[in-house]
Amino acid sequence: MSDVLTGRDGAVLTVTLNRPEKLNALTAGVHAGLHDALAEAADDEIRAVVLTGAGRGFCVGQDLTEFQGAARDVGAHLRATYHPTIHAIRGLDKPVIAAVNGVCAGAGLSLAAACDLRIAADSATFVPGFVSIGLIPDSGGSWFIVRLLGQARAFAFMSSGRTATAADALELGLVNEVVEDAGARAAEVAVAYAALPPLAVGMTKHLFEHAVTATLDEQLEQEAKLQSLAAQSEDFREGVTAFLEKRPPMFSGR
Ligand code: T3D
């Protein structure tokens, strides 16, 4: 059985980390599977992606058994495996929704934080992980979590090693929603995204990312640039026509 499964339902791609007996700890095999799955997610037919884990875990980060044996260059390993995955998620012109079905730790937490939305099961837990084994947040964990939580709360959480419940995570701003069945809710949200104009959704994703480091003038210019493109799309014409004709729009993605 593959370490990463993909399944399509219409325009929604679900990517499932599949090492349930190890809470979906990340190995070379999982990284390779994720790489292929995220390449599949780039297909124009796919309009929303759900990332989840099989069994009772979402992902517990790096498989620590890979640290046994010969010493390795951790920085080189991060650059070669984790960084491309994080870039692939951020680079997709479509929303990636983490359905956090269970325990989420270390680089698994970074992976969830790199997604556009996080929907947590009420039984999910969030474990900083890194500090408890003498490491620092990596795989974008420091970049995303400070933006989600703010500096004081990000430092307090990530340096504490303390487990956060799903309710804590909601309070911290780490997750968007807490529900009984994260997979079912994420599928529902993904289907709703799939009905929206994909160019506008994708550009909105990139616009907010740009806003994080831009000045007001740079952001105003970026909005003007992307709005010119959006306004030339068939989906914009369809949106306006459907509104005026008082019917639901059908967006083609062009
Ligand atoms: O070069 C590089 O790659 C550097 C990158 C580093 C990035 C990182 O992600 S560092 C952080 C790595 N993750 C952790 O430190 C978390 C370690 N795990 C835990 O602390 C606990 O497992 C949890 C608190 C997350 C969950 O606890 P619990 O009691 O619910 O489950 P468990 O019994 O500990 O785990 C179940 C199984 O999964 C168990 O295997 P076994 O004994 O049944 O055969 C356990 O060993 C395995 N497992 C859990 N986490 C990992 C793991 N196996 C390998 N690596 C893991 N990270």
Q: Which residues of 7-38 are buried (b: 16+ CB within 10 A; e: fewer)?
A: eeeebbbbbbbbbeebbbbbbeebbebbeebb
Q: What ligand 1 atom has the least distance to the C-alpha of 139?
A: 7
> What percentage of the chain reaches a pLDDT higher than 90?
97
Q: Rounded to the nearest whole angstrom, what is the distance from the C-alpha of residue 20 to the centroid of ligand 1?
A: 11
Q: Rounded to the nearest whole angstrom, what is the distance from the C-alpha of residue 54 to the centroid of ligand 1?
A: 15
Pocket test residue of 18, 19, 22 for ligand 1, highest count of atoms within 8 A of CB: 22
Nearest CA residue ID for atom 39, ligand 1: 22
Amino acid 1: pLDDT: 81
Amino acid 67: pLDDT: 85
Q: What ligand 1 atom has the least distance to the C-alpha of 81?
A: 3
Do residues 137 and 155 make contact, with C-beta atoms less than 8 angstroms apart? no
The residues with which 98 forms a beta bridge, in sequence order, are: 51, 118
Nearest CA residue ID for atom 21, ligand 1: 60
Would the pTM of this model clear 0.95, i.e. be above it? yes
Amino acid 153: pLDDT: 97
Cβ neighbors of 90 (< 8 A, separation 6 or more) are 114, 209
73-116: pLDDT as tens digits = 999 999 999 999 999 999 999 999 999 999 999 999 999 999 99
Q: What ligand 1 atom has the least distance to the C-alpha of 63?
A: 55
Using CA atoms, how far apart are residues 105 and 30, in angstroms rounded to an integer? 16
Using CA atoms, how far apart are residues 210 and 205, in angstroms rounded to an integer? 9
Residue in 117, 1, 108, 110 with CA at minimum distance from that of residue 49? 117
119 sits in which H/E element: strand 117-121
Q: How confident is the model at residue 13 (pLDDT cuts 50, 70, 90)?
A: very high
121-162: pLDDT as tens digits = 999 999 999 999 999 999 999 999 999 999 999 999 999 999
Please provide the average confidence, as pLDDT, over all residues in the chain. Answer: 97
Q: Rounded to the nearest whole angstrom, what is the distance from the C-alpha of residue 162 to the centroid of ligand 1?
A: 15
Using CA atoms, how far apart are residues 168 and 100, in angstroms rounded to an integer? 14
Taking residues 39-49, what's their average pLDDT? 97
